[in-house]
Amino acid sequence: MTRVVLAPRYGGPEVLSVVDEPVGEPGPGEARVEVRAAGVNPADWKSYGGAYGTDPARLPLRPGFEAAGVVTAVGPDAVGPAGPVSVGDEVIGFRLSGAYAAELVAPAPALVPKPPSLGWAQAAGLMLAGATAVHALTATGVGAGDTVLVHGAAGGVGLMAIQLAALRGARVIGTVGADSADLVRRLGAEPVRYGPGLADRVRELAPDGVTAAVDTVGTDEAVDVSLDLVPDRGRIATIAAFARGAAEGLQLLGGGPGADPGTELRDAARTELAALAGDGRLEVVVAGTYPLEDVAAAHRAGMAGHTHGKLLLVP
């Protein structure tokens, strides 16, 4: 038996509970993983909150898309992107189902080796935000010579996007609140306060113009300012403002209606992300860790939108 988080019905964080369930043995192409940390993401609360529909046949839901842990058993032909998976391997799992657990059975192709230098919390918080950022920067063609505006620069995806854009040689401007400017500056971006007058403040920083924008927050301000500053709408991507983005002809990325999920691109990014984080060129900022039993509190903190970096569950 192992502890897992379940959502037996749709609703808010109050529907979540921790229960004991059998783990089972890994079958062909699978591995059993003892979870050391699991990443918390907006997609988790959207799944049981009804954003992706309320089909009762999907209940109970087991949230959690990413985790890091140690392989405790393998089935036949358990081969991951880096080769055969073995007992004792330290791995990062991405595109998992039910990662909020003390132990789970996962498809071996979802497991990549964890760099020895990377802590469990950092490893568990790397892939979803990192792969989303890679998708957004690739879709908007960000590279050397660009000036890119990242809305929500202190969030999980935003912090990844500003670092990866800087690594690509771009100049990065990131929107921030009052208490996150130093963090964003340390990670390679020029912070600018969001709120009334944002477009003018960005123009003062970048009088030669902004060539691309990545919206991680989904506000009207983020969309309006991006449209005001970026001449080419094809170089504006949003992972949150799906209705506005569709109406304005922006690139829609992720799991929203009409969005490009970028599955192959995101999966392909895992090895590069692990390498960058492993050698210290990419930092996973941990905003907080919670015991598995405090999953509702972790989700409420994430939904409030004031954390800087990633929230993690530790079984």
Residue range 55-79: mean pLDDT, rounded: 97
Q: Using the structure block, give the residue that is written with the tokens 């192409």.
A: 29
Q: What is the DSSP string of 132-153?
A: HHHHHHHHTT--TT-EEEEETT
Whole-model pTM above 0.85? Answer: yes
- Domains and their CATH numbers in the chain: 2-126+284-314 (3.90.180.10), 131-252 (3.40.50.720)
Q: Give the pLDDT confidence of 175-216 residue by residue, as tens digits.
A: 999 899 999 999 999 999 999 999 999 999 999 999 999 999
pLDDT score of 264: 96
DSSP one-letter code for 197: T
> Quick one: which of 3, 26, 133 has its CA closest to 89?
26
How far is residue 247 from each of residues 53, 221, 233, 240, 258, measured CA to CA in Å? Answer: 22, 15, 12, 13, 11
Residue 258: CB atoms within 10 A of its CB come to 9
Sign (positive or negative) of CA dihedral 255, 257, 259, 261: positive
User: Residues 282-305: what's their mean pLDDT?
Assistant: 96
pLDDT at 134 over 90: yes
Cα distance between residue 304 and residue 206, in whole Å: 31
Is the predicted pLDDT of residue 307 greater than 90, yes or no?
no
Q: Which residues are CB-neighbours of 83 under 8 A, at least 6 positions away? A: none
pLDDT band of residue 104 (cuts 50, 70, 90) is very high
Q: Is the pLDDT of residue 52 over 90?
A: no
**pLDDT-above-90 percentage for the chain:** 96
Answer whether residue 69 shows pLDDT above 90: yes
CB atoms within 10 A of CB 55: 9
User: Would you state the pLDDT for residue 298?
Assistant: 97
Question: Would you say the C-alpha torsion 113, 118, 119, 123 has a positive or negative sign?
Answer: negative
pLDDT at 40: 97
Average confidence score pLDDT of the chain:
97
Residue 75 pLDDT > 90: yes
Q: Do 312 and 286 touch, CB atoms closer than 8 A?
A: yes
Helix-, strand-, coil-residue percentages of the chain, each rounded to 5: 35, 30, 35
